[in-house]
Structures are given as C-alpha cells and as structure tokens.
Amino acid sequence: MHEMALCEGVIEIIETEARKQSFARVKTVWLEIGALSQVEPEAMRFCFEVVAAGSVAAEARLEIVVSPGVGWCMSCVKSVPIERRYDPCPCCGGYQLQVTAGDEMRVKELEVA
C-alpha cells in the first residue's frame, strides 16, 4: 500500500511547516489528489489517521479534493477531459493523449492553531 508512504510524506511536510511557521496544531488538512494519480482516497484517509498519531496533525481532519484528469489530444490539438489513463479522446476517439493535469497530489491548505 503506497498510500502509507505518501501519508508519511504529507506528515513530514506538515511537521516541516510547523517548525518554520511556529504552529503547534493542525485542525484541517486539504489534500488535492488527481483523478489519474493512482492514489486511493479512502486508503489515504485510513493511512493518514495512523501516520498522524503523535504529530502536530494528530487530531486533524483530512479533506480530500479530487482534481479532474486533463489530457492534450495530439489529433484534436486541444485539451480534453479524461477519466482514466489510456482512455481514448472523448472528441475524436484517438489514443494520442498526453496527460497534462490530474496526476498530481499535493497539500493544498492547512488550518492551524
């Protein structure tokens, strides 16, 4: 389960920011997960609770924002929405798509105390 390692990275980012910005507690973490990122949101919720124990985010609520997949169709020469990798272009049916958004994961925002 790679979500556990991803959550450890998120907690590391939060702990680093807590030291830099001098906050003692995180109330809410907004995590943006791309629809094409191969990250399972429910697994992230479970892992976050486990990994956050004993950290400044121990009592934090995790809010997950899923960003849509977008690809550049080389045939249509335009950006198109895509739901899954290797799907055809919804406009022309071609397979010459390059993912341009939706494969990222980032800490979008923190509510701290």
Give the pLDDT confidence of 41-50 residue by residue, as tens digits: 999 999 999 9
Per-residue pLDDT of 67-103, as tens digits, reads 999 999 999 999 999 999 999 999 999 999 999 999 9
The whole model's pTM is what?
0.84
pLDDT recorded at residue 1: 56
**Residue span of the structural domain in which 6 resides:** 2-68+102-112
Q: How many helices (H) and strands (E) does the chain have?
A: 2, 6
Examine residue 78 and state whether it is found in any structural domain, yes or no.
no
What total of structural domains would you count in the chain? Answer: 1
- Ramachandran assignment for 11, one of left (phi > 0), alpha (psi -120 to 50 degrees), beta (any other): alpha
Q: What is the percent of the chain where pLDDT is above 70?
A: 99
